[in-house]
Chains A and B, each alone.
Chain A
Amino acid sequence: MSDETYPADLRYHPEHDWVRVDGDEATFGVTWYAQDALGEVVYYDPPEMGATTTVGQSYGELESVKAVSDIIAPASGEVLAVNEKVEGAPELVNSDPYGDGWLIRVRLSDPSELDGLMDEAAYRDYLQGL
């Protein structure tokens, strides 16, 4: 398990997903809060390469021993890469949620969607209210 952190360079979706933007591409993952709520992740069911993500909708699943959780897309786009390391070692989502535990890389179809996401401070405030 890792310490509770929310990097300042990421944008956050209320379903506890993060985005790291790099031009018109972006990397998605789940936040520390999400992995803590889920517990030890034992299975990652990723989308197909080339599949489309739609903001607010599930693009894959993470499972703990006890439960299944949909992974909600923080933005719309086309899947360019899937983190195969997490398929083989799903616990990376727990140990390094913002690094080796990233889930997919996408080409954003509507970068203006990012304006609807939270920054670190807003996400921390949001977590306080849960």
Chain B
Amino acid sequence: MRTSLHAAHVDAGAKIVDFAGWEMPVEYLGVRAEHLAVRERCGLFDVSHMGQIEVTGPDARDFLQATLTNDITRIGPGQAQYTLLPDDNGGVIDDLLAYALLDRFLLVVNASNIDACVGRITGLAPAGVEVVDRSPDVGMLALQGPSWAKALTPVASPEPFSLQYMEATEASVAGVPCLVARTGYTGEPGVEIMCDADQAPAVWDALMGTPYRPGAAGLGARDTLRLEMGYPLYGNELSRDRTPIPAGLKWACDLKHGGFPGAERMQREAENGTPEKLVGIVLTEKGIPRGGCPVLVDGQQVGTVTSGTLSPSLGVGAGLAYVSSEHAERGTRLEIDVRGKPKAAEVVTLPMVDSSPRKEHHS
């Protein structure tokens, strides 16, 4: 499948790869340059492959409260919330952003999990709750980086700059009706913009045509940016094999009220601790950890790397790993077995970089 921006990516010289059945740009000029452009200025991503599921009806809020892990009663119209969709055992079907809008909830889910999410949510929905997969109709761009507002100012109305982190509003961008939200997956301040898929190229072109032109950024940079922040990726850090608790996502699970599938197991894990925890790791010698590399202490395996790369911001090999909880303390020295070669590494706090999506924009 192709997004409506495919021609724009090809024109921009993108290297296209298959991602969850989508032909997506992995990089344009190079992952490192795109990554650093987002950290220092601003980058524009096509994330139209992501899924959008609309949930409506008088009982939609109660239904989502009983279906997702976070406390959805804490958000009102125009607010977004990070949450997870658990299976009956508390395993993770997907992580997602739930948007409360005036007349509906919108769930933005991972491209690879659209069918699983639609199936799960539809299967649980009672009469009076309508679940509709809007994914094919919705185009989605992410404008990310400290200078996002400079790129958006010339083409947006009203200027959506009073938005706080995790707030959303309807706005016109290049004359196209959009939902603009202060959300993202990079750790930088910025917005995500949803509109009719057919109109996404007009929004892309308008943003690229502003004097403060953002750099086109691909999925490669999206992955390295999220990794430095310690944001989990479904399929790497999250799966049905674990609840959100060992991934450090207790904050996104409303264990006080509970009532969602797997809540009791998560409560137990939160109280008793889990045998392993997700940590950030940084190599203290040359090398690059990769998903699947064993984590060793005194030659014994104590965990496994789930994501790894060369951190463009830090210039060293960095990754995320599940390790046994006794080795999860910051500063713990470990070794990563990189294809048979042990490399010295250390547990670090997340995020690995001094970034925050809550930062004010540079005006």
Interface with A: B242-250, B257-265, B283-291, which one?
B283-291
Provide the bound-state CA to CA distance between A43 and B224, in Å: 16
B 26-42 to A, binary, CB cutoff 8 A, 1 in contact else 0: 11001110000000000
| Contacts known (A65-B31, A65-B32); A39 close to B15, Cβ less than 8 A | yes
Provide the bound-state CA to CA distance between A64 and B309, in Å: 9
Residues in A with CB closer than 8 Å to B309 are 65-66
Taking a contact as CB atoms under 8 Å apart, the answer to whether A65 and B224 are in contact is yes
In this assembly, does A40 line the interface, its C-beta being within 8 Å of a C-beta of chain B? yes
Q: Which residue of B220, B310, B312, B339 contacts A43 across the interface (Cβ within 8 Å)?
A: B310
Q: Mind listing 8 A-B residue pairs with CB under 8 Å?
A: A39-B15, A43-B288, A61-B339, A65-B31, A65-B224, A65-B312, A66-B26, A68-B288
Residues in B with CB closer than 8 Å to A45 are 287
Taking a contact as CB atoms under 8 Å apart, the answer to whether A65 and B287 are in contact is no
A 9-36 to B, binary, CB cutoff 8 A, 1 in contact else 0: 0000000000000000000000000000
Chain B residue at minimum C-beta to C-beta distance from A65: B31
Q: Which residues of B are at the interface with A, using a C-beta cutoff of 8 A? A: 15, 26-27, 30-32, 220, 223-224, 286-288, 290, 309-310, 312, 317, 339
Q: Which residue of B220, B286, B317, B339 contacts A66 across the interface (Cβ within 8 Å)?
A: B220
Provide the bound-state CA to CA distance between A40 and B317, in Å: 15
| Contacts known (A64-B31, A68-B290); A42 close to B310, Cβ less than 8 A | yes
Chain A residue at minimum C-beta to C-beta distance from B221: A65
- 6 further interface pairs, Cβ-Cβ under 8 Å (given A40-B30, A43-B287, A45-B287): A40-B31, A43-B288, A65-B312, A66-B220, A66-B223, A68-B290
In this assembly, does A120 line the interface, its C-beta being within 8 Å of a C-beta of chain B? no
A 54-92 to B, binary, CB cutoff 8 A, 1 in contact else 0: 000000010111101000000000000000000000000
| Contacts known (A63-B310, A65-B310, A66-B31); A39 close to B220, Cβ less than 8 A | yes
Residues in B with CB closer than 8 Å to A40 are 27, 30-32
Residues in B with CB closer than 8 Å to A1 are 30
Provide the bound-state CA to CA distance between A66 and B286, in Å: 16
Chain A's interface size range is: 10 to 19
Taking a contact as CB atoms under 8 Å apart, the answer to whether B32 and A42 are in contact is yes
Residues in B with CB closer than 8 Å to A63 are 288, 310
Specify the main secondary structure of chain B where it touches its partner: mixed
Q: Which residues of A are at the interface with B, using a C-beta cutoff of 8 A? A: 1, 39-40, 42-43, 45, 61, 63-66, 68
Provide the bound-state CA to CA distance between A110 and B310, in Å: 38
Q: Which residue of B31, B286, B312 contacts A39 across the interface (Cβ within 8 Å)?
A: B31
A6 to chain B, nearest CB (A): 20
Chain A residue at minimum C-beta to C-beta distance from B286: A43
Chain B residue at minimum C-beta to C-beta distance from A64: B31
Provide the bound-state CA to CA distance between A48 and B317, in Å: 21
Chain A residue at minimum C-beta to C-beta distance from B311: A65
Taking a contact as CB atoms under 8 Å apart, the answer to whether A42 and B288 are in contact is yes
Provide the bound-state CA to CA distance between A25 and B310, in Å: 34
Provide the bound-state CA to CA distance between A63 and B27, in Å: 15
Among A40, A45, A63, A65, the one with the most B-chain Cβ atoms within 10 Å of its Cβ is A65
Residues in A with CB closer than 8 Å to B290 are 68
Among A1, A43, A64, A66, the one with the most B-chain Cβ atoms within 10 Å of its Cβ is A66
Taking a contact as CB atoms under 8 Å apart, the answer to whether B286 and A65 are in contact is no
Among B30, B32, B286, B287, the one with the most A-chain Cβ atoms within 10 Å of its Cβ is B30
Provide the bound-state CA to CA distance between A1 and B15, in Å: 13
Among B220, B287, B288, the one with the most A-chain Cβ atoms within 10 Å of its Cβ is B288
B320 to chain A, nearest CB (A): 15
B74 to chain A, nearest CB (A): 37
Provide the bound-state CA to CA distance between A51 and B220, in Å: 34
Residues in B with CB closer than 8 Å to A43 are 286-288, 310, 317
Provide the bound-state CA to CA distance between A33 and B224, in Å: 24
Provide the bound-state CA to CA distance between A11 and B209, in Å: 46
A1 to chain B, nearest CB (A): 8
Chain B residue at minimum C-beta to C-beta distance from A44: B286
- Nearest first, the 7 closest Cβ-Cβ pairs linking A and B are A65-B31, A40-B30, A42-B310, A63-B288, A66-B220, A43-B288, A65-B309
Taking a contact as CB atoms under 8 Å apart, the answer to whether B310 and A39 are in contact is no
Provide the bound-state CA to CA distance between A58 and B356, in Å: 42
Residues in A with CB closer than 8 Å to B287 are 43, 45
Provide the bound-state CA to CA distance between A65 and B307, in Å: 12
